[in-house]
Amino acid sequence: MKKPLIVMGIFLILSILCMSGCTEQQDQISNNSSPVQFTVDTQLPEARVGDLYSYSFCKPDCLDENDLCGSDVNPSTNPFGGSGPYHFQLDSGSGFPPLGLTLYPNGLLKGTPTVAGEKTFSVCAVDLGGHQCCVQVSLNVLEPRINVSPNDVLVIGEICFDGPCEVSTTVIVSSLVPWHIQYVTGSGTTRCYDTVEEFSRYWSVCPAEGSAGETMVTLTTMMYGESTPSYYEVPIIDRGSVIRFEAVEDMTNYAELHIALELPIYQE
């Protein structure tokens, strides 16, 4: 019966180690221990260069930089103790958040990171009496997302009554890491010029994978006499596909290309 108790004890210790908080933190105006209690995960949720980031040290979350932490209408559950409402500030000499992020007085850390890497800094929750509790946290900023340009393409088709004809377009994939393609909707294949029917159209993508850097990718489809009837006023847009250019080792790092085909109007 002792073994389950040992396992539970280890789990409890690991849980405590993953949190950072103060219990005997000195306040700003006296040598007494602070009545303010404030705990935070030592590792904040990851951010990514170029993506908007938002994290609230106040709980319930402050969603806007003008929200108040610990009002009478919406009391704070973290931090607590002392006299609310609370404001937040960086601890002197403890480091800074990643470039592009701002810590607002209500505890909202928000902005768009500009540089990848991990930063460690300390955040202090301060009550109306000046009592504070400071905790150290780390935030890792990932490299920029894969980019595909353009990312919304309308391919102009051709009328081919004498036999199949090929229409194509190109895009540029920019990535700091190796990538490959994943089909989200529509049709396609992971091999160059070997099309597989899935939905309304066949698309061939070549190359279907690439290394870090810029890669020109060609997207091709075959037409077999499809056209918009002459009595239509505007061309029919063939149902499009969504093609995802995804990092090989990070499913969260991807760019999506929306591609569709315009069927030319047939003139009798």
pLDDT greater than 50 at residue 36? yes
Query: Tokens 């994290």 map to which residue?
Result: 55
Q: What are phi and psi of 175, to 5 degrees?
A: -150, 145
Q: Is 77 left (phi over 0), alpha (psi -120 to 50) or beta?
A: alpha
Percent residues over pLDDT 70 in the chain: 81
pLDDT greater than 50 at residue 31? no
SS3 track for the chain: CHHHHHHHHHHHHHHHHCEEECCCCECCCCCCECCCECEEECECCCEECCCCEEEECCECCCCCCCCCECCCCCCCCECECCCCCEEEEECCCCCCCCCCEEECCCCEEEECCCCCEEEEEEEEEECCCCCEEEEEEEEEEECCCCEEECCEEEEECCCCCCCCEEEEEEEEEEECCCEEEEEEECCCCCCCCCCCCCCCCCCEEECCEECCEEEEEEEEEEECCCCECCCCCCCEEEEEEEEEEEECCEEEEEEEEEEEEEECECCC
Q: What are phi and psi of 12, to 5 degrees?
A: -65, -40
pLDDT greater than 70 at residue 20? no
Which long-range contacts (C-beta less than 8 Å, at least 24 apart) are formed by 246-251? 246/146, 246/179, 246/180, 246/181, 246/182, 247/146, 247/175, 247/177, 247/178, 247/179, 248/177, 248/178, 248/179, 248/180, 248/209, 249/177, 249/178, 250/142, 250/177
Q: What is the pLDDT of residue 193?
A: 37
Mean pLDDT calculated for residue range 246-253: 92
Q: Return d(Cα 70, Cα 19) in angstroms, integer.
A: 21
pLDDT greater than 50 at residue 75? yes
Mean pLDDT calculated for residue range 55-72: 91
Q: What is the pLDDT of residue 22?
A: 63
pLDDT greater than 80 at residue 69? yes
pLDDT greater than 90 at residue 173? yes
Domains and CATH numbers, the chain: 21-142 (2.60.40.10), 147-263 (2.60.40.2310)
Q: Return d(Cα 207, Cα 204) in angstroms, integer.
A: 9
